[in-house]
Chains A and B, each alone.
Chain A
Amino acid sequence: MKKKYMNPYMAGTMLGIVLLAAMFFAGRGLGASGGIKYCMVSAVGAIDNQHAMDSVYYSKYFEDGKKPVKSWLAFEIFGIVAGGFISGAVSKRLKFRIEKSPKISNSRRLVFAFLGGVFFVYGAQLARGCTSGAALSGMAVLSLAGFVTMAAIFGSAYAFAWFFRKNWI
């Protein structure tokens, strides 16, 4: 029997302490989309090295023999996988499945999941951070960018919610 989720205010406090630890140890916030970018850059470098070296965008991640996957942001997301897995194991929630509304098909759920990922990370590269790196970590250091990004993400999701309601309710 799977366990119930933690009280949200408790879980939020725990998350805030983790963010505080990142500030104390490394002088930085939390992040997720950046790690995805580093993994992608690393893959491009492995698959088409010439293309990566010719590009202004990719080549800066390989300067001085650097390996993009051996970076703070990439290791942080490897940690997210480990931490999520530990939590899922402790609370008996480990299971391969597609989570979706019973009103939609598996393929519809997966198509929208893929598109959502494309949009989210594209937007995060433009805004220089996602919900964690820009919004949450930004707000914790009183950055105006953090508050504006947070308002834009949530405002936009509410504005579009009506169009995608069939997927969820």
Chain B
Amino acid sequence: MGPLSSHFIFPEWLELLTAFLIGTGFGFSLEQAGFSSSRKLAGMFYGYDTTVIKVFFTAAIVALTGSQIMSYLGWLNLNQVYVNEFYLSASVIGGVIMGAGFIMGGFCPGTGICALSIGKIDAMVFVAGGLAGAFLFAETYPLIQNLADANYKGPVKINESLGLSPGLFTFLLVAVAAIMFRIAETAEKKFAQPAITDEV
């Protein structure tokens, strides 16, 4: 039956209300996880706080397994759910630029918006920088359009490119995540920075 948007034409107010409520749940979850703190987020890259990987992979696995179960039960038609288009060059280069921004700013866009909502001034400045970055992209778009569109592969699924069924790939991903969670817990003890973790 789902996604509901494939069966009904939502009036604009209802679509925007749904977006707002989804965003509210998103912001609430991020803040409860502690993602309103840049020093907690940055801990991921120095080992003293690995909340990022725990929350990120748990969320991905819940949504991935949940959507496959819903699809199996006939509640969600996965063919109607958007699958990201794969532009190989743009994904890699864009990702590298984003990683640099992450370690400089201490936030990603979602966590930055979440952190500004509780009064973090550094997050307000980060999001202002984000608006500037979006503007810079729009103004330089003619120069990098070729790069943005290079090596287009379509909405490729990772399990298909590996020749695995969605179920088997999901199972392997859960196993990998379990190992990463163990490593993360060990790293937090090894690289502990009590002065930072007590404060954030």
How many residue pairs bridge A and B at CB < 8 Å?
530
| Contact count band on B | 35 or more
Contact B109 A33 (CB under 8 A): yes
Contact A30 B120 (CB under 8 A): no
Contact A130 B109 (CB under 8 A): yes
Given contacts A12-B33, A25-B3, contact A136 B60 (CB under 8 A): yes
Q: For the complex, give the distance between the alpha carbons of A22 and B6 in Å.
A: 13
Cβ–Cβ < 8 Å partners of A124 in chain B: 94, 98, 109, 133
Closest B-chain residue to A40, C-beta based? Answer: B134
Cβ–Cβ < 8 Å partners of B51 in chain A: 5, 8
Given contacts A16-B62, A95-B118, contact A144 B161 (CB under 8 A): yes
Closest A-chain residue to B121, C-beta based? Answer: A98
CB distance from A20 to the nearest CB of B (A): 5
Contact A78 B110 (CB under 8 A): no
Closest A-chain residue to B148, C-beta based? Answer: A126
Q: For the complex, give the distance between the alpha carbons of A152 and B116 in Å.
A: 26
CB distance from A120 to the nearest CB of B (A): 3
Cβ–Cβ < 8 Å partners of B45 in chain A: 157-158, 161, 168
Cβ–Cβ < 8 Å partners of B87 in chain A: 127-128, 145
Any chain A CB within 8 A of the CB of B175? no
> Of A81, A125, A145, A160, which one neighbours B137 at CB under 8 angstroms?
A125
Q: For the complex, give the distance between the alpha carbons of A144 and B61 in Å.
A: 15
Given contacts A78-B20, A84-B115, A161-B46, contact A143 B122 (CB under 8 A): no
Any chain B CB within 8 A of the CB of A49? no
> Of A44, A83, A93, A134, which one neighbours B28 at CB under 8 angstroms?
A83
> Of A19, A23, A91, A157, which one neighbours B32 at CB under 8 angstroms?
A91
Cβ–Cβ < 8 Å partners of B117 in chain A: 80-85, 88
Max count, chain A CB within 10 A of own CB: residue among B26, B48, B113, B125: B26
Interface bits A45-64 vs B (CB < 8 Å: 1, else 0) = 00000000001111000000
Any chain A CB within 8 A of the CB of B128? yes
Max count, chain A CB within 10 A of own CB: residue among B6, B25, B37: B25
Q: For the complex, give the distance between the alpha carbons of A131 and B130 in Å.
A: 14
Contact A147 B61 (CB under 8 A): no
Contact B26 A15 (CB under 8 A): yes
Any chain A CB within 8 A of the CB of B158? yes
Enumerate B128-178 residues with CB–CB distance to A below 8 Å.
128-138, 141-142, 144, 147-148, 153, 155-159, 161, 166, 169-170
Interface residues of B (CB under 8 A from A): 2-6, 12, 15-34, 36-40, 42-46, 48, 51, 54-64, 66-67, 70, 75-76, 78, 80-88, 90-123, 125-138, 141-142, 144, 147-148, 153, 155-159, 161, 166, 169-170, 193, 196, 200
Further contacts, 8 of them, CB under 8 A, given A39-B131, A83-B30, A149-B91: A24-B70, A27-B82, A113-B106, A115-B104, A118-B136, A120-B108, A141-B157, A169-B193
The 9 A-B residue pairs with the shortest CB-CB distance, nearest first, are A116-B105, A79-B23, A152-B95, A117-B129, A156-B99, A16-B62, A12-B58, A127-B94, A83-B27
